[in-house]
Each structure stands twice: as C-alpha cells, then as structure tokens.
A = this chain, B = another copy of it.
C-alpha cells in the first residue's frame, strides 16, 4: 500500500498559494502507486495536531484545477509556530502520532521562513523518533524574503498588484494635482524586507512619474530628507506619490506604525504608517494629501496575479512531490533564474537547514544612493516576476473562485490535543 501525504498551508496566504496546493495534489494523483491520499491540514499544521484532516481525494479534478484560480488558503492556513523541540516536545510527538495513525509518509508544508523552520524540525523529530517521513517545504511568501531561491512564489503577484495600483493612482493624482491632492501615499506590506515597496517603483517608467519616493524598511526614516524630497517633487512635477512599507522604522529601529498588538510569532502587528506620513506632510508642508492602505487586498488580488508567479507557484508544489518521491528529505524547491533577458527559470533545490529563519532583505545596490527609489539593477530583477496575466474566469461581473468541500477524514487517535 502506498503511504499517504500530508499538506498544510502556513502563515499569511497569497493570491497563488492554492496553485501550489494544486501542484502538490495533481502531481500526487499522477503517482498513485507511490502516494495514497493527500490529506490537508484544516487550518494548517493545527489540523495535524488536532487530527482535523481534510480528504482531498473527495475533490473533483475540476475543483483542484480551480484552485489555480482562487486566492486565500483553500484548506485554511494558520499563524501557529511550533516551539523548539526542547520546549514543546509534546507537539512534535503528537504530530508523529497523528501521522502514524494515518500512515503519512510525506509531509509538505507550504509557507515562509517560520514554516521552513517548522518543516525542518518535523523532519528531525520524525528521524529522532524513528518514524519514516519525508518532509519537503513548499516556498510561499509575499515578502520575497526566503534565501537561496531567486524569488518567492506569491511575491510576483503582489508585486504586479502594487505596481499596477501605483501606476493607476499616479494617473489619477497627476490629472488633478493642480487643484486637489498634491501628495499621495500608498502603504504596502513587507515588515522587514522592502521587496513589495520596491515593486511599486516599477510603475515609474521615467522621471517625474509616480511613485516619486519610496520608503523602505531597510532605510531608517529621515524625516527632514523625506520632507525636502516631497517638497522638491511637488515643485518640479506638481505632485508627489510615495510608496511606503508598513515596516518603516526610525533611526532607533522603532516602527513608525506599531499598533501595540503582537501575533502568535511575537511579531508586532503593524498598520497605519501611511496616515502617519500623511499627517507629517500636512503638518510640516501644509500640502493636501490622500493615502491608501492596500492591506489584504494586495496579497489576495488573484484577479491581477502574475502569470510567471502562478506558474512558479504551481511548479514548486509539483517539484516538492517529485523530490519527496526521490527520497529527498528536509529540502525546499527553489526558483533558479537561468537568464534575465530573456527571462528563464528552472526549479532547483535547497537544504532546509540553509533556509530556515534566514531573511533575505533588499541588497543596498537595489536602492538608489539617496535611499528613495530602486536602481536599474533592482528593476531588472523585478520586472520578469510580474510579467504575464492569468485572469480568472468571471461570472456576473466577479471572479469565480472555488470553495472546496473540505471533507473531514475520520479520526483514528483516541486522544484529544489542546493547542
């Protein structure tokens, strides 16, 4: 009998994480001699701990295909970080208990930095407990901050969304600046790494166009330099459009927009740096402003997903299964750029021990010397990632997204588990 697989989505979802799910499930279905069923964790790894598994074999081929057109996490994702093995061995033992009960031989975790670490630990504990398990991490993060891989599935789509939004808002503001808004501020995601902020810069094809200024988390906010630059752009071009990262910090490393709440990982919840910057512009320069906070809109915007990103997201899911079938353990498929012009890529591989908890920030030479924009080198890196459209089907004016049946697998362990 072929052993079963477990697949879970972890951390913040993206417009295309379900394409990775489709890559995993469709590829597993093609190898039915080696992989039995694919069980998905309801709400990510929590589904494994609580033995709340979803039987993906109950879903039609069409439904699984439709996942490539659907944003969000089809099985539920979770912000739930397993503690270190020393601190909470019980969680890891429980995972193995559930896996054993359902004869799970393949573990696929679809997430970012934190979950790469979780995936590695699960692989280690299984080994330590003598339970045969092949664990492969499927990369996903809008933040684009995983190391080794050239880019991260999920990023290209948010990049395309924010660049398109800035381009469009720029046309709007430019056409009304004479009598109305002079300064427009758009806040985007990216707590520590400025990749998404950088992507808004793609909207500008020549000097004078939006965005005029970018505020990166990698560059300490210099209020005076920023205000001087805003003033200069308004004088020169009539308006100034600004892209700002939610993770903008002052010179002492404090977030400009800290809201005081922390999530399960101990990260501060951010939000609202745009209104703060706007208030500064009004207070110090007396200029009329508007601001936007794209928030979840940016990472769920499947309607404007990047075709390149979609294909890569599917490919890493597919490769994860193929690697697992080859017995490759504690690894992660990567995107390897083999050529920039024309853009070509292939799937590579990284060891999870080289990936876990390493955060790839923007190289300094991707940011202009003044700290306020992207360089040509950065533009050349980013552009191919947003190329291509992959519009979903529409019905009655709205994208037709799928909701799966998500049928529960009958429980086999007799123990309950409290998170």
Residues of A within 8 A of B (CB): 9, 12-13, 15, 43-44, 46, 70-80, 160, 163-165, 167-176, 178-181, 184, 186, 202-203, 259-261, 263-265, 269-272, 274-276, 278-279, 282, 288, 290-297, 299-304, 306, 383, 385-389, 391, 394, 396-399, 401
Contacts and interface: CB of A to CB of B under 8 A. Distances in A.
Given A77-B175, A180-B264, 5 more contacts: A43-B179, A79-B176, A80-B179, A164-B303, A173-B296
Contacts of A12: 176
A320 to B, nearest CB: 20
A270 B300 CA distance: 26
Contacts of A290: 271, 295-296
B260 A271 contact: no
6 contacts: A72-B170, A75-B175, A168-B303, A168-B401, A269-B288, A291-B295
Given A78-B179, A176-B12, A397 B401 contact: no
Contact of A79 (B179, B388, B396): B179
A278 B288 contact: no
Contacts of A259: 264
Interface of chain A: mostly helix, strand, loop or mixed: mixed
Nearest to A265: B260
B71 A306 contact: no
Given A276-B270, A278-B271, A78 B300 contact: no
Contacts of A391: 389, 391
Nearest to A159: B397
Contacts of A46: 178-179
B78 A180 contact: yes
A383 B401 contact: no
Contact of A178 (B43, B72, B304, B398): B43
Given A297-B294, A391-B389, A397 B163 contact: yes
A78 B397 contact: no
B263 A300 contact: no
A261 to B, nearest CB: 7
A358 B229 CA distance: 42
